[in-house]
Structures are given as structure tokens and as C-alpha cells.
Amino acid sequence: MHLIFGLAADGRVYPDAHDASGSLDEDVVGPLGLVQTLETQLGMLAPSVSKAVRISTYLAKLRACGGDRFWASSFSRDPWSTAATLLEWRDTLVGGGWHGTATGSNRLDDLAAAEAVEPTLPAGLEDRAIALLDVLKTRPGLRIHQLGLADRRDLLPPLWARIVKALESVGVTIFQHEQPDLAAEGSDLRIVQRVLSGEPVQPLAGDGTLTMVEADTELMAAETIADWLAALPSEDLRGSVILASDGDTALLDHALRARGIPALGLSASSPWRGALQVLPLAFAAAWQPFDPRALLNLFLLPRPPVAAWAARRLARALSEEPGVGGRVWREAWVQIEDRLLEINTRSDADTARRKTDTTLAEWRAWTEVGRFARGEGMPLSEALAICGRVAAWAMRSDGGDGDRLLMAVSNAAAAVSDALSRLELSVIPALLLERVVLQVLSEGVPNPDHFAEAGAVRAIKAPGALWSSALRVIWWNFVGPGEKIAITPWDNAEREALIANGVEIDASPAIARRIEAAHSSVIRRCHGNLILVRPALARDAQTTLHPMAHRLRPLLKESGAAITFKAERLLREPDAMLAGRILPRQLVGRQVQPPAGVPVWTIPPGTTRLTDTRRESATSLTRMLNCQLSWFAQDILNLRPGRFAEIPGTDQLFGNLAHEIARRLLLPGAPPAEAGIRTEAIRHFESLLPEIAAPLLQPEHAGELAAAREMVPRALEALVRLLHAQGLEIVGSELDREGIQGQLLLQGRLDLLVRRGDRIAVLDLKWTRSERRYREEVASGRAIQLAIYRGLSASDGTGAPGGYFLLRQRRIVAGPGSILTGNPIEADIDDLATLGHVKNDWRLWHDLTTKGTLIAAGFPDTGDLRPAGLAIDAAKEPCRFCNLRGLCRVYEELV
């Protein structure tokens, strides 16, 4: 077997093998690949464990040490971070030759004490390599004959230098991989290669062999590189390498595909892939106080843990009443049960019932929320049950397809379960549990839908992955800060103690030389064109210079203009020259203007039938009178903004609570006694809080919740006092009513219907910060909601003037003639006249819709397009709160 070993060769490398044909007995390996190869040949393979499992085991070892150890203070505050840091120190020491023995230095001796206690730490890469060193000389069967070094032998870290030396001692031929092909003599690239070798700086001619592409954005950089590659004949693309140090070529691939070049397929690993979030969200939903956002996010994932249709219903329930156990939540489960029974109708009744019950039990397990107080932690058994549920869901969803993302979810759940078990705790603190989950998910998963396509251009992630010569190298995102150099935690006395005990420390200067050599090798191993791509902005952050750019600074200072290409030149120059290639661009034959605003819309004739038998509500009529197009889009076509479901704001939640408490307290008949109403309101407030307004229990709303605990009961108390003072009897609350006014069909829900003798009135409860808005509505005769409620409150449509009860202000707002107050607001017209105006305007707008015409409000000339005879004036700012401005293209800056 012939191997090439490179420190950065675990992953994509270029080239893939020693020669174009490759061989089953030849390979290019990194540290992990070399260890696995040796373990396989020596019969030492063992299951690998995640980093989180090793940290949790080491945490248990540190706890078992006890005593006044040097880590005691930090361990008491943050055991997980302490264990993670000390494990890194320990692994580095093991790699340097430390055998876990005392050295006479306090901190090192404390680590030696941790090494000696149970439990046994699972082997890391350094442990596995050291174990190989111990058996290489004594165990036959090694089939490796040659090992080529892609990196300089004198720059190898101590551990890998020892591995190489051990292999050499058992007869493996070690050789430095051949020197790369250098650029043509006299070329700019060759001059740079000479400078990196220590020769004097010479001016560059700008011959295209070395180019610095500067762009304002990554998007423009991607367009430029894609244009340059597209300008090459397809047979000449072979030997081209993209070095993407950030591990992501998604933006560049988009530009390449647009030009018919296969995608490179590098995708950065991310812990935020949809299915991966099932695990942390399942734990987040289990804590008290219950946060509905966690459960809502779980149901809104691309792959929710319940059927998509059920997840949508539960998400809608949470957005309407954020909590579990409330009326809307119970109704959602009833609907889900009915749908499951319908789905299972192919079976007999008993089987269908059994299947439905089994599915419901599985799905309800995901909504067993808010069971554990964060201050007390979660029992280990419950945490393991959540892990098991997530793993089972992932495997069931995968169904044997081998989906990379779902397999990662299953493995992550198993790793969390293993790590928690190794903590040797019966109850897991909340912070520690979250650290374990975060650690397991930290490595993330690449985008499974972003993969490499067969093509001549290759992509690698690390400079050292280019282990041999390449014709063309494009260093994508040639920006800083570059690799970080780990700072040794040991002082001089500790380093001397380690050296005296045969432990070799990889010093920071040696690490810096190794990083610099890897960067320089990219330039040395290119013999055709080298393009360094530096965008000024990476996403939304300003970039900094790459460390190699500082090394090349003398060259760039002398000849920067000759070798620099500004990517934005492509936007104004039809034949820009980049690295010896002309990048032709031409203007499109016809310039397309952006979509203009459309104040008048024509709809197909058949569409108007949707409005014929429709019942309007106060909300839909208000929308119609404000903007006919908005009404038709939202109320007839059910067009909605992009967001599917969201948790309401605090004011709406307080309003919901007040409405529900009022519904439960204000039963038909005489109003309840004032004496006990506040106590009853407080009792209902606390019981309803987790059911329909759970977000208010979160710490960030503590101040508002404390105020509402005082304000809501007082508001209900004031409302009952008003009913008694005005001698009102309760007809009902939350009443669904339908009515008819001429040809206008109405529907609505009345918050509170009251009577005095034969006179009735509607009280609409509002939790608002603005009293002035409602006073102005009543005074100006634009209280459309009260007018519609008046039409719904009595069979003859006359009713009596209603009013708003402002809960926050504990104040009634009503017009003349109302039985709700003795101090009405003077109004230009009463509710009955407003209702007549609404009927008139509805007829005019409805007739216009029937003719197939819609008018969008908000345009300067809209007033001339409105039907003649409208009684209600146009709104001053019709588009202020509209979510559909992108539809009609009204882009006003509204203040």
C-alpha cells in the first residue's frame, strides 16, 4: 500500500490520488485517515464516540477527583466549559507523550489525579495514535510500503512526527512528496514563488498568472469567477481548483450553474438545519415556564415530528391562543382525531380506533410541555426518553432511505443520550443539558441538497488539501483572519517539568510556521494561473486582509495596480480582460423597467361569483371601505402574508385573557356581585395564563405580567361596577350572530350583549394603549365596528348604540343615546346613520366588483377612480398597516 499523508487531507483533496487512474492500494490520508488505516491493518478498530460523550465523561472524572483542585472554582460555576477546556489540554499533553503521571507541578499533578479515577475516558484521536505507537513494533501485518509526506517533515506536530518515525522504523519507506511544478520562468507567478523562497522582490508585469480580484460583494466576486471559468474552453477546465476556506461554495455554484458549469458542491456544516432543530426544541418545550415559541417552531419545521397537516393545525392553535389546554388547543386535537379516524377508515372500526389512538399518543408525547422547572433540572430518565423519541422519529421518517440529515438527527440524539448517561447524575441541570445538546449539534451537517456535480473543476476546503501541483488555483474568499494559533496554557516551570518527563510541547511559533507553510504551498503548487478573490463584504460584515496578503504586501505595494482586477468593471466594460481571458458582456436588447404601481385591476368575470352570497364582518367591511383591492385579496381570495403563524404580542395576549375571563364571569342574567369579582378574576387569570397566554410567563415579560396581574382584575371589576351602575342585565358574551341589512349579509362575534328593559347594547372590550383613536371614531361617526354590531344585536337591525370598554383605562367610550353611560361623546352622526353609510358604500363597491374592477387605494389619483356617491371619506393613510403593498406596488414612505 502506498499512502500520501497530509495534515489537511481528511476530506476533499486535490488531486484525489497519485495519478489520474487511481488505485485501490493507494490513498491520500490525513491524521484521522492514517490512524483508521493503521487500526484496520493492526486489528485495533473500536467504535468512535462524539466529542460531547468524551467531555461528559471527563466532567464525571473531574467531579470524582474532589479536593481543592485548580479547576474547582470554574467547575462550580460552569462544569461543562471547564471540562471541555481541560480535556483539550489533556489531549494535547497525551499527543506530546504524557502518560497521565505526576510531574511535581500542581496543575499537571491535578490532571494526573483526574486521569487515575473512574470512569474510563473514551479514546480520542491522540489516544488512538499513542496506542498505535505502542504496538507498531510488536504486531505484524502492516501492509504500508511507502508513505509520502505532503507537508515538510520538520514542520509536523510532535505526535505525527513520532508516528512517521515509528513507521519508518518498521520498514515503511518515508519520502518527501515530489517538488511541485513551478510556474513558467519570468512570469509574475514565478516571481512570487521566488519571493516566498526568500529571493528579492521584483516588479510584476501583470501577465495574468497572478491576479488579485477585488469586489464590493461576494455576489459580484462569484459573477466574475464564473465568467472567467466560462471563458475557458471546456477541455481546458481540467486542473482547475477552487480553494474555499470557509467550506461553502453555494453562492459561487449558483453563478456556475447559470453558465453551464457543474456545481462544486461544498456546503458549510450548520447546526441550524431544520431536522436538527427537533432535538433542542423538544428539550426547550419541556421546561417551565413553558415557551410556546419552542413548540411553534417545532411544528413549523420543514419536517415536523407529527404529520404536516396536524402540525399546521396545532401551529394555528398556538398562534391564536399560545398555550396548551385552552379551548382552541382542545378543538385542534378534536379535529386531528376526526381526521385520523377518516384516514383509517379502510380498516374496521376497532382497528381504525386502535390505529388512531396509537398515533394520537405518539403525537401528544411531543406536546407534553412545561413539566420541569429549570431551577430543579430534568430527571435523567425523562431526558433519555426525549432523546429516544427524537431518534425514533428520525429513523421512522427516514424509512431506510439513508437521508443524511435524518441520520445525523438520529446519531445526535444517541450521542446526547450517551453523554447524559456518562455524567453520572440522576437529575440533569438545565444549563448542563443545553450545553450537551449544543456541543453535539455544534459540528452541524452540510446542506444535503447541495452536492458536487461531475465536472473538471474541483473544490477543496483547506490550503493543505492541495498536496500536489495544479494548473489553476482560485483562492475564493481570500480574506482574514485565517487560522487561530492556540496559546499554550503552561507557564515556564510547567513546560520544564513536561520536557523533563519526555513530553514534547507544540509551541506557538512552530504552529505559526506550519500555517504559513500551508498558505505558501498553495502558491508554490500552482503553475498556471493563481487568482486571489477578496470581497470587501462577506454577507453583511466587512472583511479583513488574509495573513498571506500581509506576506505579499511588498509585491502588492510595488505592483498592485498591475495585478489587481476590480470585479465591478464587468458592469461597465463589454470586454474586460482577467488573467489572460476576455470576459465578454453585452447589453440586453430591451431594457425592462421594474413593475409599476397598478391602481386599477381587472378580474375575470367568474371570480365575482365569490362575493354574491358572502357574509361580511366588521373587519372585512372596514378593509373594503379602506381599500377595495385589499378586501378582495384578503377576504375573498384568502391571500395572506408570507408568515404562516406567529406568537401574538403582549397587548393582544392580555386582551385575550381579559376577554376569556369576562366570558367566564359574565354569565347571562344579573351581573355578578362586585364584592368577589376581583378574586374570581385573579383565579381565572392564573389558571388561563399557561393555557392561552403562556409567553407572558417568560422572564422578559415579568414587568408587564406583574402590571397585568393588577390591571386585568381591576378592569373586570370596573366593568362589573359599570353594569351595576347602569342597571344592565347580561344577555350573553362571545355571541356569534348573523344579520341582514338590505342586501348586505353580516356576521360577527359580540363580546358582551347587555339590556336594560327592552333596550339592548353591545360592549366591545378593547385592550389598547390608545384611548384617543376610539374617541375620535365615535365622535366622527367612523366607528364601523359598533355600527355593524348594532345591526347584529337585534332582529330588526335597529338595536341601541353600543360602546367600547377600554380595559387598560377602565373607561367606557360610547356615543349619544347609549344605555352604557351617562356621559356620552358628542358625535356628528350616530351608529345607525353610520350603518346606513356602510350599507350604501358596500353596495357601490360590491357593484364595482361585480363589473370586474378593483381599485387600489393609496395612489395619488385614486380619488378620481372611486365610485360616485360614497358616504364615507377615503382614509388618509390607507396603506399604513397593509401587508400587500408589494402586490399593487404602492411603495410609499409612510410615517
Q: What is the pLDDT of residues 629-642, one digit of tens each?
A: 999 999 998 887 65
Task: Round to whole Å and give the CA distance between 544 and 212.
Answer: 15
- Residues 771, 705, single domain; the answer is yes
718 occurs within a structural domain? yes
Q: Vertex 719, ends 715 and 722: CA angle to 5°?
A: 140
536 and 620 both lie in a single domain: no
Q: Are residues 92 and 40 in the same domain?
A: yes
pLDDT in tens, 858-887: 888 888 889 999 999 888 888 888 888 888
Establish if 811 belongs to a structural domain. Answer: yes
Alpha-helical regions (H) of 543-673? 547-551, 553-563, 618-626, 628-631, 650-665
Could you give the maximum distance between any two Cα atoms of the chain, in Å?
109
User: In sequence order, what are the residues at sequence separation of 6 or more whose Cβ sits closer than 8 angstroms to the Cβ of residue 145?
Assistant: 1, 2, 172, 173
At 742, is the secondary structure helix, strand, or coil? coil
Average pLDDT over residues 79-88: 95
Which of 16-20, 416-420, 668-672 shows the lowest per-residue confidence on average (mean pLDDT)? Answer: 16-20
Q: What cell numbers appear for 474 in the block?
A: 482560485
* 3-state DSSP assignment of residue 449: coil
Same domain, 630 and 688: no
Count the domains in the chain.
5
pLDDT at 893: 44
The reported pLDDT for the residue numbered 588 is 64
At which residue does the C-alpha cell 402540525 appear? 311
pLDDT of 19 reads 58
Q: Is residue 893 part of a domain?
A: no
pLDDT confidence bin for 541, thresholds 50/70/90 = confident
Question: What is the spatial distance between Cα 368 and Cα 414, in angstroms, rounded to a whole number?
Answer: 21
What is the average pLDDT across 598-608? 83
Helix axes 31-42, 125-135, angle to 10 degrees: 40
Of all residues in the chain, the percent with pLDDT exceeding 90 is 63
- The residue written with cell numbers 498505535 in the block is 132
Question: Residue type at 379?
Answer: P
617 and 520 belong to one structural domain: no
CB contact at 8 A, 761 and 803:
yes
For residue 634, tell me if it sits in a domain. yes
Cell of 421: 448517561
pLDDT tier, 402 (very low <50, low <70, confident <90, very high otherwise):
confident
Question: 380-398 vs 404-422: helix axis angle to the nearest 10?
Answer: 160
Q: What is the DSSP string of 151-188?
A: S-GGGS-HHHHHHHHHHHHTT-EEEEPPPPPPPPTTSH
Report CA-CA distances (Å) from 814 to 768, 775, 787, 822, 834.
16, 8, 12, 9, 14
Of 809, 768, 772, the closest CA to residue 649 belongs to 768
C-alpha cell at 725: 351602575
Of 840, 859, 876, the residue at which a domain comes to its end is 840
More reliable by pLDDT, 428 or 201 = 428
Residue 671 to residue 754: CA distance in whole angstroms: 10
> Among the listed ranges 139-143, 448-452, 805-809, which one has the minimum average pLDDT value?
139-143
Q: Which of residues 584, 612, 632 is at a domain's end?
A: 584
What pLDDT does residue 717 have?
Answer: 94
580: containing domain:
188-267+459-584
The answer to the question of residue 182 being in a domain is no
Asked if the model's pLDDT at residue 438 lies above 50, the reply is yes
Q: Which helix or strand (DSSP H or E) is residue 750 part of?
A: strand 744-756
pLDDT of 696 above 60: yes
> Which among 750, 757, 727, 758 is positioned nearest to 803, based on CA atoms?
750
The reply to whether 688 and 788 lie within a common domain is yes
CA dihedral 672, 674, 676, 682 (to 10 degrees): 90
What is the reported pTM? 0.85
Residue from 861, 762, 845 nearest 802 by CA: 762
Q: Which helix (H) or strand (E) holds 529?
A: strand 526-538
Beta strands 853-855 and 600-602, pairing class: antiparallel
Distances (CA, A) of 64 to 78, 110, 874: 16, 12, 76
Residues 803 and 850 in one domain: no
% pLDDT > 70, the chain:
97
Specify the pLDDT at position 798.
65
**Letter for the amino acid at 747?**
Q
The cell numbers describing 569, all together, are 468593471
Q: How far apart are CA 252 and CA 493, in angstroms?
A: 51
pLDDT bin (cut points 50, 70, 90) of residue 553 is confident
Long-range pairs for 580-586 at CB < 8 Å and ≥24 separation?
A: 580/207, 580/208, 580/209, 580/529, 581/208, 581/228, 581/231, 581/232, 582/231, 583/224, 583/227, 583/228, 583/231, 584/231, 585/227
Of 144, 176, 208, which residue sits at a domain end?
176
- Domain membership of residue 446 (yes or no) is no
Buried b (16+ CB within 10 A) or exposed e, 581-607: bebeeeeeeeeeeeeeeebebebeeee
* Closest among 20, 106, 74 to 493, alpha carbons compared: 106
Classify residue 20 as exposed, middle or buried by CB count within 10 Å of its CB (0-12, 13-18, 19+). exposed
Helix intervals (H) in 70-124: 72-77, 79-95, 106-116
Tell me the pLDDT band of 895, cut-offs 50, 70 and 90.
Answer: very low
pLDDT at 894: 40
Tell me what the mean pLDDT of segment 639-658 comes to: 83
3-state helix, strand, coil in the chain (%, to 5): 50, 15, 40
* 689/834 same-domain check: yes
Please report, as a single letter, which amino acid is at residue 371: R
Q: Give the CA count within 13 Å in the CB-facing half-sphere of 70.
A: 11
What are the grid coordinates assigned to 70, written together? 485548580
Instruction: Tell me, yes or no, whether 694 and 805 share the same domain.
Output: yes
Q: How confident is the model at residue 22 (pLDDT cuts 50, 70, 90)?
A: low
Average confidence score pLDDT of the chain: 90
From the list 721, 819, 803, 738, the residue with the least C-alpha distance to 765 is 803
Cα 408 from Cα 413, distance rounded (Å): 9
Q: What is the pLDDT of residue 589?
A: 65
Q: Are 344 and 714 in contact (CB under 8 A)?
A: no
Averaged pLDDT, 211-219:
93
Q: Are residues 626 and 510 part of one domain?
A: no
Let me know if residue 789 belongs to a domain. yes
860 Cβ neighbours under 8 A, 6+ residues apart: none
Give 590's pLDDT tier (boundaries 50, 70, 90). low
- Shared domain for 228 and 341, answered yes or no, is no
Half-sphere CA count of 773, side-chain side, radius 13 A = 7
Residue 591, domain member (yes or no): no
State whether 355 and 380 are in the same domain: yes
Q: Is 216 helix (H, G, I), strand (E, B) or coil?
A: strand
- What is the pLDDT at residue 323? 93
Whichever domain contains 463, its CATH number is 3.40.50.300
